[in-house]
Structure 1
Amino acid sequence: MAIGKDMSGTLTIVVVEEDRDRAVAIVDALMDSGDHEVHVIADPSGLARKIAAHAPDIVLIDIDHPTRDMMEELTLASGPLDRPVAMFVSGAAGGLAQAAIESGVSAYVVDGLAPDRLKPVIDTAIARFRMFRQMRTELAETRRALEERKVIDRAKGLLMKAKGIDEDAAYALLRKTAMDQGRRVAEVAEALVTASGLLS
């Protein structure tokens, strides 16, 4: 997937647009901005499958009068956690902008999809998607590190109790065992905690 690129690179773009004339105008504007591979989906039924079949770099959704149910369905189907999604709506849609952004839509543009605004909106959607993906990755890594720290602390406690040693010695034993076995300290700690649970 080419989400590291901005609009100046070649992108695979899926456009969800029911109106044929508007779809043609959008495709023309996209092709004018670069040598992109553009696929138009006119019928939103089975949208998730249709989008996945193209494995796009970005999804553009143009809706005249969205309802909350329609927004939720389109948002889920377009996979905003997998790729940037830019949603264009014709008029103000109450609190739907907030719902769309909370569900992961990278750009929410009121007053419809104007061909001359495509490039800046797509560039912004891609940049915003990359930023949020990085934040999700960092959050997941932080959570994993915290979970590992808890397991290591439990394993140290088990060793301290079983061997009558202090915390530093317990950690040194875990680290030496991990090095001897070519494993990570957290893996050795997890094995010790699991074994202790089976024996108790």
Structure 2
Amino acid sequence: MTDALRIVVVAPDLALTDPDDDHAASQAERSRALRIGLLENNFNLIATLPADVFLSDRLAQLQPDLIIVDAESEARDALEHVVMATRDARRPIVMFTNDEDTTHVKDAVAAGVCAYIVAGLAPQRIRPILDVAMARFAHEQALRAELADARTELQDRKTIDRAKGVLMQRQGLSEQDAYEKLRKTAMDKGLKLGEVARRMLEMVDLLG
């Protein structure tokens, strides 16, 4: 349920230091519209944070489900802070901006942004945008997990082959007998076959 999503918005300070700065006033109004849109769509907006060196610690404390980057001229800098803050604990990132300079969209997507929205703050658009971002993030995470599993499986296979080779050479076993010995040890100890092979090779390396 998206209603339960814990959302953090990363945005510049809304306080206007110059009342005649039309650009700052426009950006502040756009940021307010985004937050109002989130609340109107019943999302759980738990904090609004600046993009600074403390962002990583704050995100670690809050543990949001999704991060929205609300930025314009400083979009690249804000995104860099968010990417650095989430590199060890990946989370879906959505970027809202009125900056029509799309030259860094490709870099943003490569950095982990699930949705890059230009001038997309109409309240009725917010929910579908966030729903798609969450679905895309879940899909990418599943692909990453599959890739990691495939790499682990390949590494395990190589390790098992090496362990079989050692048993065949040192104990004069056939390849099938060496495999069966490793498999029996794994079953007896309640370990995965790859783990038994790794431990055996580590012992061989230790004893020489």
TM-score interval w.r.t. the shorter chain?
0.7 to 0.9
Contact 1:91–1:112 (8 Å) recurs in 2: no
Shift of 1:24: 3.0
Q: Is 1:157 the equivalent of 2:165? A: yes
Aligned equivalent of 1:23: 31
Aligned residue number for residue 67 of structure 2:
59
Matched with 1:11 is: 5
Alignment: residue pair count: 193
Residue 44 of structure 1: aligned partner: 51
Percent of residue pairs identical: 37
8 A Cα contact 1:66 1:93, kept in partner = no
**3-state SS, counterpart of residue 107 of structure 1:** strand
Q: Deviations over 1:53-99 (max 9, x none)?
A: 22111111111124644432333235595211101121233431111
CA distance in structure 1 between the aligned counterparts of 2:204 and 2:156, rounded to whole angstroms: 17
CA offsets per residue over residues 85-126 of structure 1, 9 Å max, x none?
A: 101121233431111111111111123544332111111110
Shift of 1:21: 3.6
- Check if 1:176 corresponds to 2:170: no
> In structure 2, the residue corresponding to 1:93 is in which secondary structure?
coil
**Does the C-alpha gap of structure 1 residues 40 and 187 become closer, same or farther in structure 2, counting only changes over 3 Å?**
same
TM-score by length of 1: 0.86
Gap regions ≥5 residues in structure 2: 15-27
Task: Give the aligned partner of residue 95 of structure 1.
Answer: 103
Q: Which ranges of structure 1 fall in alignment gaps of 5 or more residues?
A: none
Matched to 1:152, the amino acid is: I
